[in-house]
């Protein structure tokens, strides 16, 4: 997700989605998505955004609000419903759990999106797309008007950098630990991953993509998708660094995670560590 104008971002996003096996004219779909938001705002009717508190939703919310902010959305047209809990749903993981009546009950909770919220979204979205993750890092601890779940989402984002401890992203470590615990199916892994997350966000498609990524490289950590290799066990035991084992080549926002000395996350210190 490189820095640049909206068209640069759309093209990068379409290219990434195409590599995952998605079909159709992805770039055209992204253009249509953005145009639908801008057309609705231009019509000056009430536009209500529905989002959750997890990492994926917060990033999509940022992108949408940044688009509206740069388009100088007319005052009073944009409203937001964003929740992290719902009575009667312990362990609430998202709006998809709610039935139509429960969703309707959220309607009175919609809040106006004020200029300060739009400005905050533009700032964090721009920082997210910078090649140096230290640019977005301060937003993990900051206050963001109208966006109460954004700080935690940014921190969770940074936890997807390779760890200084073992070279694994947090999501990767959770999957390897589940395999070590004898998870043998996609359902097992999804459940194990959800149980380790404060705000679950990893769906089945991206879970499989992460496993496939760990099955490649000089010393694969996973084989046959559901089996931990000896090298995978060595990484979990602290005897092997995952960066050395699988040689990652992926993007986290604008940060290219690749090479022998990538950007890392120090969980103990709670900070980004520069390459070197």
Domain ranges of the chain: 6-158, 170-273
Element (H, E) at 236: helix 230-237
Of the given ranges (71-75, 111-115, 188-192, 252-256), which has the lowest mean pLDDT?
71-75
Neighbours of 113 (CB within 10 A): 26
Map tokens 């459940």 to a residue. 191
- Region 201-209: what's the mean pLDDT? 91
Question: What is d(CA 62, CA 275) in angstroms, rounded to the nearest whole number?
Answer: 27
Section 150-166 average pLDDT = 98
Full-model pTM: 0.89
Task: Check residue 216 and give its pLDDT.
Answer: 94
Q: Tens digits of per-residue pLDDT, 215-236?
A: 999 999 999 888 999 999 999 9
Q: What is the Cα–Cα distance from 198 to 181, expressed in whole angstroms?
A: 20
Q: Which two tokens stand for residue 226?
A: 């559901």
Dist CA 224 CA 172 (whole Å): 16
Tell me what the mean pLDDT of segment 201-207 comes to. Answer: 90
Q: Is the pLDDT of residue 45 over 70?
A: yes
Residue 275 has a pLDDT of 94
Place of tokens 């043998």: 184
With a pLDDT cut of 90, the percent of the chain lying above it is 75
- Surface-to-core class of residue 188, CB atoms within 10 Å of its CB (0-12 exposed, 13-18 middle, 19+ buried): middle
pLDDT digits (tens, 9 = 90+) for 77-120: 999 999 999 999 998 989 999 999 999 999 999 999 999 999 99
Q: Which single residue is written with the structure tokens 């919220």? A: 117
pLDDT for residue 12 is more than 70:
no
Average of per-residue pLDDT values in the chain = 91
Q: Which residues contact 111 (CB under 8 A, 6 or more apart)?
A: 79, 80, 81, 146
């Amino acid at each position: 997700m490189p820095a640049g104008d909206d068209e640069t971002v759309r093209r990068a996003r379409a290219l990434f989605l195409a590599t995952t096996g998605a079909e159709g004219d992805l770039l055209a779909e992204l253009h249509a998505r953005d145009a639908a938001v801008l057309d609705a705002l231009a019509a000056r009717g009430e536009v209500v955004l529905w989002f959750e508190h997890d990492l994926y939703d917060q990033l999509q919310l940022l992108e949408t609000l940044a688009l509206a902010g740069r388009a100088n959305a007319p005052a009073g047209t944009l409203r937001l419903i964003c929740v992290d809990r719902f009575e009667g749903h312990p362990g609430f993981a998202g709006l998809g759990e709610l039935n139509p009546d429960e969703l309707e009950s959220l309607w009175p909770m919609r809040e106006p999106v004020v200029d300060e919220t739009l400005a905050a979204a533009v700032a964090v979205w721009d920082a997210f797309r910078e090649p140096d993750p230290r640019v977005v890092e301060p937003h993990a601890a900051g206050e963001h008007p109208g966006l109460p779940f954004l700080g935690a989402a940014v921190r969770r984002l940074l936890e997807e950098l390779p760890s200084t401890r073992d070279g694994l992203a947090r999501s990767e470590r959770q999957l390897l630990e589940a395999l070590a615990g004898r998870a043998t199916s996609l359902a097992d892994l999804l459940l194990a991953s959800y149980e380790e997350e404060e705000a679950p966000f990893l769906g089945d498609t991206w879970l499989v993509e992460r496993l496939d990524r760990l099955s490649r490289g000089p010393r694969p950590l996973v084989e046959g998708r559901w089996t931990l290799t000896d090298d995978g066990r060595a990484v979990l035991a602290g005897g092997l660094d995952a960066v050395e084992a699988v040689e990652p080549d992926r993007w986290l926002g604008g940060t290219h995670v690749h090479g022998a000395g990538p950007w890392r996350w120090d969980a103990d210190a709670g900070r980004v560590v520069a390459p070197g």
